[in-house]
Amino acid sequence: MRIRRRAAGAVLGLLLLIGCTAPRSAPAPDTAGVRAAVDRRAAEVRAAELADVPLRAWSYRVTDVRRHGEDRASARAELRYRIAGYDSGTVTGERALELARRDGRWYVTSDRPAKGAAPQLWEQGDIDVVRGKHSLVLGVGQDAARLRAVAAAADRAVPAVSAAWPEGLWARRVVVLVPGSLERMGALLGEPAAGYRGIAAVTTGRVGGAPDGPADRVIVNPEAYAKLGEFGQGFVLTHETTHVATRAHTSAATGLWLSEGFADWVAYRGTSRTPAQAAPELRDAVRAGDTPAALPTDGDFSFATDAAALARAYEGGWLACELIADRWGEVKLRAFYRAAGARGWERALPEVLGTTPEAFTAQWRDYLRNRLG
């Protein structure tokens, strides 16, 4: 793997392809002049500032243009780009641009996220690029050695996930973004940073995404991730890479106990961690006679819930998947996951495992007592 640094600030003004007309009350922009300026700028950026980011495509599709006098204009545009070797489809984002005309030429003077849109990583500072065997790590404000370590962990995660999820059309590569702080992680997600304070990483992507869609991004919380040991860091990236691999078979009907539990099952698969070691919160509850009455609900996985309850939800989902793997086998577990995404986990239980939600819940409660009691 290798690492290079490129300035990214110049990315903020580029690729404006005027494809619509201004309001009737204002003069039309000099579209030919704007297009020529943008073409020159695009060539400069691709050849210099973004030379080490393997972009297959990068463009703006303008959706609205407004003139403000003779020499000023504003535009709304859709950013469209692909990372070569990772994105089969186009990543999009909404941008708000300001333009000025000087000496007969149009220039983009401001380029920022449109209202309600999240910023891009390169808007947060200079980008460092690490290319691993199975990973691409893009970082801002991070030590080069730390980014190489993230890439190494991701490179170990991808084969582990492939072994647990051998079927399915996924690229067997992962894109990892490492912003400079928790606050900047929150900005990339368009969410308050406080909600992610104890979360080491999250995966963004379209649920049920098709093979020709953009690749998921694993976004690392550098503060929480740094507090983990080698096992914990590897576990986190394996868990998140599982979400990347299974995305096309995951839907709102899957159930978070299954999608999160399966990701944990893959991450623990092949390790020496016992259930008592891996599920301490649930272990303590079971030993105190407080075995959960039902499988975790989607609401139990809210980051807003207390840490102990959130941990019990993850642990319960993992042990439900462990139960299926133990009693029905890994092939059946994978088939159940795919069926749950297509038809919901309640219907998938009788179809794939020959049981009912009520019977499975009873088996799961017995399994918790046997493994954790």
Q: pLDDT-based confidence at 75, cuts 50/70/90?
A: confident
Average pLDDT over residues 333-356: 97
Long-range pairs of 157-163 with CB within 8 A, sequence gap ≥ 24: 157/234, 157/237, 157/238, 157/240, 157/241, 158/134, 158/241, 159/134, 160/238, 160/241, 160/266, 160/267, 160/269, 160/270, 161/238, 161/241, 161/242, 161/244, 161/245, 161/266, 162/245, 163/269, 163/270
DSSP code of residue 10:
G
26-47 pLDDT per residue, tens: 556 566 666 666 566 666 666 7
Who wins on pLDDT, 260 or 123?
A: 260
67 or 250, higher pLDDT: 250
CATH topology of domain 250-373: Neutral Protease; domain 2 (1.10.390)
197-241 tens-digit pLDDT:
889 999 987 665 555 667 789 999 999 999 999 999 999 999 999
The answer on pLDDT for 9 being more than 70 is no
CATH 3.30.2010.30 location in the chain: 120-248
Mean pLDDT of the chain: 87
CATH 3.10.450 residue window(s) in the chain: 10-117
Question: Could you tell me where in the chain the CATH 1.10.390 domains are found?
Answer: 250-373
Return the number of other C-beta atoms located less than 10 Å from residue 373's C-beta.
Answer: 12
176 φ, ψ (degrees, to nearest 5): -120, 125
The answer to whether 92 and 79 have CB atoms below 8 angstroms apart is yes
Predicted confidence (pLDDT) per residue in 295-324, tens digit: 999 999 987 778 899 999 999 999 999 999
Architecture of domain 10-117: Roll (3.10)
Q: Which residues of 73-109 are buried (b: 16+ CB within 10 A; e: fewer)?
A: bebbbbbbbbbeebbeebbebebbbbbebeeeebbbe
Assign a CATH topology to domain 120-248.
Answer: Zincin-like (3.30.2010)
